[in-house]
Amino acid sequence: MLYPGVHPAIKWTHLEGLPYEAGTNDCFQLMRRFYFDNWGIEIADYAYSPDWWQTAPHLDLVVSNYAAEGFLPVADTRTLEPGDGLLMATATPVVTHVGAYLGGGWFFHHAITRKSAIERWSGVWQATTLAIVRHPQVVLPPNPAVSRTAVDLLPAAKRARYQQLLSGLTPWNPS
């Protein structure tokens, strides 16, 4: 399946479809592998029980540790970039789910009882996102799929004619 706008330099397909296993193959472990495989970022393997948010609701393991791993909060969600971490509180007051934004409105994650997957970052996933974080080592080249303009999508002959017409126009000056 094609996912329009997903940054082509991000590797994720080798991690898609993995069965869920708490503490071994869950959202946190998936993100550890995702960031290491793409940027060599080593995230510590924090010890936690599968139901830590129920047995110790005062702990916010993700929020308490993302800065120690080099991630910084993104203040303006309009600047969301591929590779950003999405921190979600799904039916809990603390962050209990993490994923990675891939671009084009898609994110990669591993929900409880499901296989790891790419999904639209919308609806419940967007509504439960409490924070977005970015790591300074996450650097990507421009995405050719979204770096183009509408003119770039025109057939070559029409694009040349459009540019020829533009070259003969005088720029608009409102004064």
User: In this structure, is the dihedral angle defined by the CA atoms of residues 83, 106, 128 and 50, taken in order, positive or negative?
Assistant: negative
Asked if residue 5 belongs to a domain, the reply is no
Amino acid letter at 119? E
Q: Is 151 helix (H, G, I), strand (E, B) or coil?
A: helix
Establish if 147 belongs to a structural domain. no
Return the CATH number at 130.
Answer: 3.90.1720.10
Confirm whether 160 is domain-assigned: no
Domain presence at residue 155: no
- Residue 108's contacts (CB-CB under 8 Å, 6 or more residues apart) are 12, 15, 16, 30, 34, 99, 100, 102, 116, 117, 118
pLDDT digit of tens for each residue in the chain (175 aa)?
A: 678 889 999 999 999 999 999 888 999 999 999 999 999 999 998 877 667 666 665 556 677 788 889 999 998 877 889 999 999 988 777 788 899 999 989 999 999 889 999 999 999 999 999 889 999 999 998 877 665 555 555 667 776 776 776 666 555 555 5
- Say whether pTM exceeds 0.95: no
Q: Determine the Cα angle at 40 with ends 128 and 3, to 5°.
A: 50
Q: How many domains does the chain have?
A: 1
Which amino acid type is present at position 139? V
Q: Which residue range forms the structural domain that includes residue 128?
A: 13-134
